[in-house]
Amino acid sequence: MRVDNEGAVPTAVVHEETAERLGWELGELLAISRAMSSERDIHKLLDLILERSRHITGADAGSVYVVETSDEKDPTVPSRRLLHFMLSQNDSIAIDFKQFKLPVDEKSIVGRAVLAARPLNIPDLSALSQPGQNPAGVQHNRSFDDKTGYRARSMLTVPMLSAHDEVMGVIQLINKKRHPARKLSVPKDFEDEVVPFDARSEQLALALASQAGICLENAILYEEIRKLFEGFVDASVTAIEARDPSTSGHSRRVATLSVALAEKVDAISDGPLRGVRFSREELRQIEYAGVLHDFGKVGVRENVLVKAKKLYDGQKSAIEQRFRYIHKAIEAEGLAAQLDIVKRHGPGAAERLLAVEGDSAAKVAALDEVLRFVTLTNEPTVLSQGAPERLADIAALEYVDFDGTRRPYLEPDELEALRIARGSLTESERQEIQSHVSHTISFLETIPWGRGFRNVPRIAGGHHEFLDGRGYPRGLKGDAIPVETRMLTISDIFDALTAADRPYKPAVPVPKALDILSSEVKQGRLDPVLFDVFVQAEVYRKLVVA
């Protein structure tokens, strides 16, 4: 500081230094305001609020409390306001604090600040115990001081107010220092370095706290909206799994794998993926797309979704009943023939009777063999050579119904299902299953996702697209498929292969599943670079370990 010949500080210098100080304070407040406004994570926001509050006021330590409402299970018990001790900082000593809650009342300093909704500035905490120095009757808990040797002397407690003047929380600043860079280590330091928080510090803390209260309110509201939306997402997954219990957990597993792969890609600093980065919101966007990628299954008939074998249970039962009827018809026909022989030839017809009985037994045995073949063909395995022709021959066989109508052994829809070459779905059923992607897109596009998640429909709706253009529903090729979708596709196929809960197939071991994916890569269907990351980083262990 400049002085004149008589040791006085020129007025111009005072004004200049005051202006510089005010400029610095204004710049700090603006920077703090920008930083707080952009932070959505509540814990990071509170940490930022406390750190900046201490910095601008020269406080050595501090804590942050958030006002909450007690969650009473008994509706007859009125809810109470509580102060949740969320965070503590100290420049002089290492602290190991635990979160706790205390009631909002007039006994504690923070409680009094909440109730009064205005700052509480205590120049010297030690004076509170002296007669006449504590008219408010507030208490200072000295357990931390006694345990650590730290001494809280000056304290400034400032409420954080919302836009509606509701107290959202409290900033408690401790020990303003003459020299902010110095640590308080020994008792003398607390005597020499600690000073009361002056009016300017109080003004600055109050200005910052007013901004902090609004930012905290926004962050809490943002968190509530996020939880509300995630509740909706979880409810949607529950709806999907209720329609198709055989794939329970699939959507969440695909989301887990996709996010894990995205995180690995985000960490790559060289190669073709070096420029691919994902923000926290973009990772959540991938998670939502993964969780909701199969939501369109709600638009597919349930019996098609859960079809484990080629025939529906009703079709199989109808065939079995039909064959039992034919079996009885053969027996009745044989008995009628035997009765006719006895009437015409009498006791000397034994040889003829045995011949008819043998013929009936042979027909029944042949019928039983046909039913065994039909039952075997009903399994969703690859159709054996010659099976389609034999099935056609069986369908060409006829019997006489109870009303005299000649009917085939196998109805056309039963024959179509049994002749499925692989799996359990007919072509029309496969198209219906594939339509779930279009349903997913249509559903997700009706949701106002906002800027942060606007690509969820596009990412989720492309999980059956392949790089060679042979996927569905749009036949996209190459770079027309978002990188997030390509990750989702790899995750989706891997989980579908390794899932142990599919009724129509056994789980494929992980090495075999990776071999199948590798084959898809070689055929130009899956992204080779992303698949390499999936394998090299062992992303799949996210599920294997779990």
- Residue bearing the bigger pLDDT, 154 or 76: 154
Can you read off the two tokens belonging to residue 360? 């009936």
- Rounded to 5 degrees, φ, ψ at 505 are -160, 150
**Burial of 128: CB neighbours in 10 Å, binned 0-12, 13-18, 19+:** middle
Q: How many residues does the chain have?
A: 546
User: DSSP letters along 20-66, please?
Assistant: HHHHHHHHHHHHHHHHHHT---HHHHHHHHHHHHHHHHTEEEEEEEE
Q: What is the pLDDT of residue 23?
A: 64
DSSP bridge partners of 171:
64, 158
DSSP-derived 3-state class of residue 171? strand
- Distance, CA of 249 to CA of 205 (rounded, Å): 49
DSSP structure class, residue 174:
E
Give, to the nearest 10 degrees, the angle between helix 250-266 and helix 528-536. Answer: 100
Q: What is the pLDDT of residue 2?
A: 52
Q: How confident is the model at residue 77 (pLDDT cuts 50, 70, 90)?
A: low
- Taking every pair of Cα atoms in the chain, the longest distance, rounded to a whole number of angstroms, is 155
Can you read off the two tokens belonging to residue 229? 């939306």
pLDDT at residue 303 is higher than 90 = no
- Distance, CA of 76 to CA of 191 (rounded, Å): 52
pLDDT at residue 87 is higher than 60 = yes
CA atoms within 13 A on the CB side of 318: 11
Q: How confident is the model at residue 98 (pLDDT cuts 50, 70, 90)?
A: confident
Q: What's the rounded mean pLDDT across residues 335-346?
A: 83
Kindly report, residue by residue over 199-222, the tens digit of the pLDDT: 988 988 888 888 888 888 888 888
Q: How far is CA 271 from the centre of its chain?
A: 30
Kindly report, residue by residue over 385-422, the tens digit of the pLDDT: 999 999 999 999 999 998 889 999 999 999 999 999 98
pLDDT > 90 fraction of the chain, expressed in percent and rounded? 51
User: Percentage helix, strand, coil, to 5, in the chain?
Assistant: 55, 10, 35
- Residue bearing the bigger pLDDT, 227 or 492: 492
Average pLDDT of the chain is 87
pLDDT at residue 467 is higher than 80 = yes
- Distance, CA of 187 to CA of 189 (rounded, Å): 5
**Burial of 449: CB neighbours in 10 Å, binned 0-12, 13-18, 19+:** middle
DSSP bridge partners of 67:
83
Q: What is the pLDDT of residue 461?
A: 95
pLDDT at residue 171 is higher than 70 = yes
Nearest to 249 by CA among 495, 506, 484, 503: 495
**Burial of 147: CB neighbours in 10 Å, binned 0-12, 13-18, 19+:** exposed
pLDDT at residue 545 is higher than 50 = no
- Per-residue HEC secondary structure of 324-342 comes to HHHHHHHHHHHHHHHHHHH
Kindly report, residue by residue over 35-67, the tens digit of the pLDDT: 777 777 888 888 888 998 898 899 999 999 999
- Residue bearing the bigger pLDDT, 488 or 342: 488
- Residue bearing the bigger pLDDT, 298 or 136: 298
Q: How confident is the model at residue 129 (pLDDT cuts 50, 70, 90)?
A: confident
Residues 6+ apart with CB under 8 A from 480: none
The owner of tokens 């923000």 is 279
- Distance, CA of 82 to CA of 69 (rounded, Å): 6
Can you read off the two tokens belonging to residue 31? 């920077």
Q: What is the pLDDT of residue 293?
A: 93
Q: What is the pLDDT of residue 147?
A: 82
Q: What angle is formed at CA 83 by the lines to CA 81 and CA 85, rounded to 5 degrees?
A: 160
Q: Are 13 and 2 in contact (CB under 8 A)?
A: yes
Residues 6+ apart with CB under 8 A from 290: 251, 252, 254, 255, 256, 257, 258, 259, 460, 488, 491
Can you read off the two tokens belonging to residue 107? 């006994």
Q: What is the pLDDT of residue 377?
A: 94
Phi-psi region of 184 (alpha: psi -120 to 50; beta: other; left: phi over 0): beta
Kindly report, residue by residue over 241-300, the tens digit of the pLDDT: 777 777 778 999 999 999 999 999 999 999 999 999 999 889 999 999 999 999 898 888
Q: What is the pLDDT of residue 79?
A: 66
- Distance, CA of 42 to CA of 45 (rounded, Å): 5
- Rounded to 5 degrees, φ, ψ at 172 are -115, 115
pLDDT at residue 546 is higher than 60 = no
- Residue bearing the bigger pLDDT, 20 or 269: 269
User: DSSP letters along 431-496, please?
Assistant: HHHHHHHHHHHHHHTTS---STTTTHHHHHTTTT--TBS--SSS--BGGGS-HHHHHHHHHHHHHH
Q: How confident is the model at residue 135 (pLDDT cuts 50, 70, 90)?
A: low
